[in-house]
Amino acid sequence: MLRKPFLLLCTAAIAACASVDSRQPARPADATDYTATEVAPAETEHFVQTDTEVFDEPMLGVLYDYVNKQYPSDNLDLFIYPVNHFDWKDTGPLLEQEMERVFAEIDRATELGYYRSRSAHEVEPHTVPSGDGQLQGLKASFEFETNNGGRYFSNVYLFIDRDKFIKVRSSFDSEATVPWDGDEFVGEVLPRLRVPGESAHLKKLRAAHRQQLKDNLMRVFLQAAMEQQGSTDGIEAVDEAAEAPEPATEADMESTEE
């Protein structure tokens, strides 16, 4: 069965993007409530949702399992989880970095023995309709082999909507189908998503992260200024830099939690 290693792999890939301490025992009350509304459709023409798991760690978000009504052996998983940055306006680099993390985790899972091997992957732009127009994302295609010799056609789809990553993992048994991909699933399910906005919890974490980066930058300025101009002038330079206004980012806006 693919299910256990498949879920372990996907969970690990998301956990890799977390930049905060994940040891809290229970999900914070001010984290995103993925149950307040129907975030992902329960059923579409060809697919039906079979399970939902909201992770205690807010950076892991939520997992929705789907099954193809005609081909129940297909593996179709939808993840929605926060972007691990305080500015997600420039989606291109964030999507590329996240795709690299996903494949690093796939390779790590192979090293740990969950899979025997995987082929080289190809990444291309992929666009799907959404309620606000279109989602511009990435699609990766590859094949992997299980330890019992099974070969699967597989895809990773990545998009950003509001402050969340949307990730789809689809895998198809080569013995049960011709070379196939998850385009149909993505095309049916994603246009009907209602992704929640930034939660109060993530807003606080991102503000702390932004301040930490600013503090680190000030220390760099201080060290450089002291080395080049002397300690007194260096401190004055840091004070001037600290007083400069910080550019506003999308994460500075009011929370849009649904």
d(CA 32, CA 257): 7
What pLDDT, on the 0 to 100 scale, is given for residue 4? 38
CATH 3.30.1490 is the classification of domain 3-21+28-196: no
Q: Are 153 and 181 in contact (CB under 8 A)?
A: yes
Q: Nearest to residue 34, comparing CAs of 205, 165, 199?
A: 199
CA end-to-end span of the chain: 37
Q: How many CB atoms lie within 10 A of CB 191?
A: 15
Strands 62-68 and 47-54, sheet pairing: antiparallel
Classify residue 46 by its DSSP letter: S
Three-class secondary structure of residue 48 per DSSP: strand
What are the CA-CA distances from residue 34 to residues 25, 40, 70, 109, 257 (Å)?
A: 19, 9, 28, 28, 10
The C-alpha angle 251, 253, 257, rounded to 5 degrees, equals 85
Are the beta carbons of 135 and 190 closer than 8 angstroms? yes
**Which pLDDT does position 236 carry in this prediction?**
55
Cα–Cα dist 73/257, whole Å = 36
CA atoms within 13 A on the CB side of 187: 7
Q: Which ranges in the chain are annotated with CATH 3.40.1000? A: 3-21+28-196
The Cα–Cα gap between 141 and 185 comes to: 15
What is the residue-level pLDDT of the chain in tens, covering all 258 positions? Answer: 444 344 434 444 334 434 344 455 589 999 999 998 899 999 999 999 999 999 999 999 999 999 999 998 899 999 999 998 888 888 999 999 999 999 999 999 999 998 899 999 999 999 998 877 899 999 999 999 998 888 999 999 999 999 999 999 999 988 877 778 999 999 999 999 999 999 999 999 888 888 887 788 788 778 877 877 655 454 455 455 555 555 444 444 443 333
The alpha-carbon radius of gyration of the chain (Å, integer) is 21
Q: What is the pTM of this model?
A: 0.76
Q: Where are the beta strands (DSSP E) in the chain?
A: 47-54, 62-68, 75-82, 117-118, 122-130, 133-145, 151-161, 164-173
Token pair recorded at residue 231: 């300690």
- Asked if residue 53 lies in contact with residue 77, where contact means CB atoms within 8 angstroms, the answer is no
